Amino acid sequence: MHDVLMIGGGAVGLSIAYELAGRGRRVHVVERGELGGESSWAGAGIVPPARENRADAPLVQLAGLSARLHVEWAERLRSETGIDNGYHVTGALYLADGPETLAKAEGELAPFRAQQISCEPIDSQRLATIEPALVGALDDGRLVSGFHVPGEAQLRNPRHVRALAEACVKRGVTLTTGAPVEEFVVRGGKLVEVRTPLGAFAAEQYCLTTGAWSGRVGAELGLQLAVKPIRGQIALINPGATVIRGIVYVGRKYFVARDDGRILVGSTEEDVGFDKSTTAGTIRDLLDFAVQLAPALQDARVERTWAGLRPHSADGVPYLGRAPNLSNVCVAAGHYRWGLALSPGTAVVMTQLLLGEPTSVDLTAFRIGR
Ligand X SMILES: Cc1cc2nc3c(=O)[nH]c(=O)nc-3n(C[C@H](O)[C@H](O)[C@H](O)COP(=O)(O)OP(=O)(O)OC[C@H]3O[C@@H](n4cnc5c(N)ncnc54)[C@H](O)[C@@H]3O)c2cc1C
CB of 30 to ligand X, least distance (A): 6
Bond preceding residue 267 cis, omega within 30 of 0: yes
CB of 74 to ligand X, least distance (A): 14
29 contact partners, CB below 8 Å, separation of at least 6: 5, 6, 8, 9, 13, 14, 17, 35, 168, 173, 174, 175, 176
- What's the full length of the chain, in residues? 370
CB of 64 to ligand X, least distance (A): 14
CB of 179 to ligand X, least distance (A): 6
Q: Which is nearer to ligand X, 13 or 321 (CB)?
A: 13
Segment (H or E) for 354: helix 343-354
Q: What's the one-letter identity of residue 30?
A: V
CB of 292 to ligand X, least distance (A): 21
DSSP state of 133: G
CB of 34 to ligand X, least distance (A): 7
Q: Which is nearer to ligand X, 138 or 309 (CB)?
A: 309
CB of 209 to ligand X, least distance (A): 6
Q: From start to end of the chain, where are the E strands?
A: 2-7, 27-30, 46-47, 88-89, 92-96, 120-121, 145-149, 153-154, 174-176, 183-187, 190-196, 199-201, 203-208, 227-238, 247-250, 253-257, 263-266, 301-313, 319-322, 329-333
What is the separation, in whole angstroms, between the first and last Cα of the chain? 32
C-alpha span between 241 and 243 (Å, rounded) = 6
Query: Hey, what's the torsion of the CAs at 176, 181, 185, 191, to 10 degrees?
Result: 70
Q: Which is nearer to ligand X, 138 or 328 (CB)?
A: 328
Q: Which is nearer to ligand X, 9 or 239 (CB)?
A: 9
CB of 217 to ligand X, least distance (A): 5
Q: Which is nearer to ligand X, 12 or 320 (CB)?
A: 12
Q: Which is nearer to ligand X, 183 or 299 (CB)?
A: 183
Half-sphere exposure of 167 (CA within 13 A, CB side): 29
Whether the CA torsion 1, 167, 227, 355 is positive or negative: it is: positive
Q: CA 207: distance to chain centroid?
A: 18
227 contact partners, CB below 8 Å, separation of at least 6: 212, 214, 215, 218, 311, 312, 313, 314, 319, 333, 334
CB of 314 to ligand X, least distance (A): 15
State the DSSP string of 169-220: HHTT-EEE-S----EEEEETTEEEEEEETTEEE-EEEEEE--GGGHHHHHHH
Q: Which is nearer to ligand X, 89 or 296 (CB)?
A: 89
Which residue ranges make up the site for ligand X (CB under 6 A)? 7-13, 30-33, 37-40, 42-46, 180-181, 209-213, 217, 232, 234, 266-267, 308, 310-311, 333, 335-341
Q: Which is nearer to ligand X, 144 or 226 (CB)?
A: 226
Q: Which is nearer to ligand X, 136 or 158 (CB)?
A: 158
